């Protein structure tokens, strides 16, 4: 199994929400030990939190964290990425692998800011990595070694499913699978709100909506599952579910989801453009 090959140590630079989810997913996989993970933070209280929860190495020194790391993950927001890369660039050793998880900094900017002797890749995980059920699009940079590809794939295989694709496709995925969990959770809220509008109390409504999503997701996770078959199992011809589904379609469910995805992709592109413009240093 690919995840047996997770390299060590892994340095996660920026111990925020996504980094914590990845730490949880990796530890849960059983293929990574806390001592294999280094995470950097800006606030010591946050560092203490991560250390006490997971037993990982916590550092406040990014250049020190990358020293000897088999894999370096950049998990800061766009605004902090340039400064972080400037800090670590002199400390990186030839042959190391750097994977940016930023949704809105392109490979061109990453490769320009990092030494040409390192492999640079992008990954776009989603929050289910925390429970080993993430889907993670991966894009290699222009100077990526076979080892870098293998180790990056192994890491994301330990937290779910890695998928290789072009950078343009990864941008599209940002608006589909990166954002997607939030859309699904919002649907659960809407289902609970609808139950409440018909007199179900708030706690019961929440339990019904959550239980429905979790149960449906488990059916979807079965190896032979297809959505048309799963829908057909619920929807008796001429019956009740069919009436609800027809209303969802008539009200434009597919159009609304399509618009949300388009807007998210557009926003990803705009933010990446703004970042690229900021990286242009005046001569
Ligand atoms: N949250 C998500 O579902 C996803 C997030 N991403 C990307 O992951 C990145 C991080 O996102 P989040 O974890 O949600 O944000 P976050 O704000 O929770 O985490 C960023 C962390 O980096 C820390 N940080 C900033 N500069 C640092 C430095 N120089 N040294 C050490 N730590 C530093 C901040 O204190 C913060 O804790 C973003 O670039 C985002 O585009 C990508 C896919 C999904
Ligand atoms: O909302 C964001 O900007 C990030 C990218 C995809 C998920 N979260």
What 8-state DSSP symbol labels residue 124? -
DSSP state of 178: I
What fold characterizes domain 2-165?
Answer: Rossmann fold (3.40.50)
Distance CA 20, CA 16 (A): 6
Element (H, E) at 161: strand 160-164
**Would you state the pLDDT for residue 102?**
98
Question: Is the pLDDT confidence value at 242 over 60?
Answer: yes
Note the pLDDT tens digit of each residue in 256-273: 999 999 999 999 999 999
Tens of pLDDT, residue by residue over 42-79, are 999 999 999 999 999 999 999 999 999 999 999 999 99
Label residue 238 left, alpha or beta by phi (over 0 means left) and psi (-120 to 50 means alpha): left
For the chain, the domains span 2-165
Residue where the block lists tokens 């050793």: 93
Strand partners, 265: none
Residue 223 has pLDDT above 70, yes or no: yes
Residue to mutate (ligand 2; options 19, 101, 102, 103; most atoms within 8 A of CB): 103
Angle, alpha carbons 209-214-217 (nearest 5°): 125
What is the distance in A from the centroid of ligand 1 to the CA of 94? 26
Rounded to an integer, the average pLDDT of 187-212 is 98
Tell me what pLDDT residue 4 has.
55
Residue whose pair of structure tokens reads 């289910």 in the numeric block: 128
Q: Are 31 and 4 in contact (CB under 8 A)?
A: yes
Task: Decide if the complex's ipTM is over 0.95.
Answer: yes
Q: β-strand 134-140 against 71-74: which pairing, if any?
A: unpaired
- Give Cβ neighbours of residue 195 (< 8 Å, ≥ 6 apart): 204, 205, 208, 209
Q: How many CA atoms lie within 13 A of 72 on its CB side?
A: 28
Ligand 2, from 104, 174, 185: best to mutate by most atoms within 8 Å of Cβ? 174
What is the Å distance from ligand 2's center to 31 Cα?
A: 27
For residue range 14-48, what is the model confidence (pLDDT) as tens digits? Answer: 999 999 999 999 999 999 999 999 999 999 999 99
Cβ pair 136, 129 in contact under 8 A? yes
Residue 283's CB is within 10 A of a number of other CB atoms, namely 3
pLDDT, position 212: 98
Nearest CA to ligand 2 atom 6: 178
Ligand of minimum distance to the alpha carbon of 101: 1
Pocket lining: 178 vs ligand 2, CB cutoff 6 Å: yes
Output the pLDDT for position 280.
77
Whether 161 shows a pLDDT value over 80: the answer reads yes
pLDDT at residue 3 is higher than 90: no
């Amino acid at each position: 199994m690919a995840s047996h090959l997770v390299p060590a140590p892994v340095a996660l630079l920026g111990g925020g929400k996504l980094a914590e989810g990845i730490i949880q997913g990796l530890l849960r996989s059983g293929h990574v030990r806390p001592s294999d993970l280094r995470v950097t933070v800006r606030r010591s209280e946050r560092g203490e939190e991560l250390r006490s929860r997971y037993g990982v190495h916590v550092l406040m020194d990014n250049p020190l964290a990358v020293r000897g790391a088999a894999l370096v993950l950049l998990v800061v927001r766009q605004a902090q990425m340039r400064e972080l890369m400037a800090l670590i660039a002199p400390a990186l050793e030839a042959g190391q692998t750097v994977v940016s998880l930023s949704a809105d900094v392109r490979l061109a900017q990453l490769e320009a800011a990092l030494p040409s002797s390192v492999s640079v890749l992008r990954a776009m995980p989603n929050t289910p990595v925390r429970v080993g059920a993430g889907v993670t699009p991966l894009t290699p940079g222009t100077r990526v070694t076979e080892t870098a590809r293998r180790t990056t794939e192994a890491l994301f295989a330990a937290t779910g499913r890695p998928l290789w694709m072009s950078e343009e496709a990864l941008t599209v995925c940002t608006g589909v699978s990166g954002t997607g969990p939030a859309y699904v959770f919002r649907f659960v809220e809407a289902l609970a709100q609808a139950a409440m509008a018909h007199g179900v109390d708030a706690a019961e409504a929440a339990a019904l909506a959550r239980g429905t999503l979790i149960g449906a997701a488990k059916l979807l996770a079965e190896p032979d599952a297809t959505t048309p078959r799963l829908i057909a199992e619920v929807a008796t011809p001429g019956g009740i579910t069919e009436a609800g589904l027809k209303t969802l379609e008539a009200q434009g469910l597919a159009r609304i989801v399509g618009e949300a995805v388009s807007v998210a992709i557009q926003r990803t592109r705009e933010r990446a453009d703004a970042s690229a413009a900021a990286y242009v240093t005046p001569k």
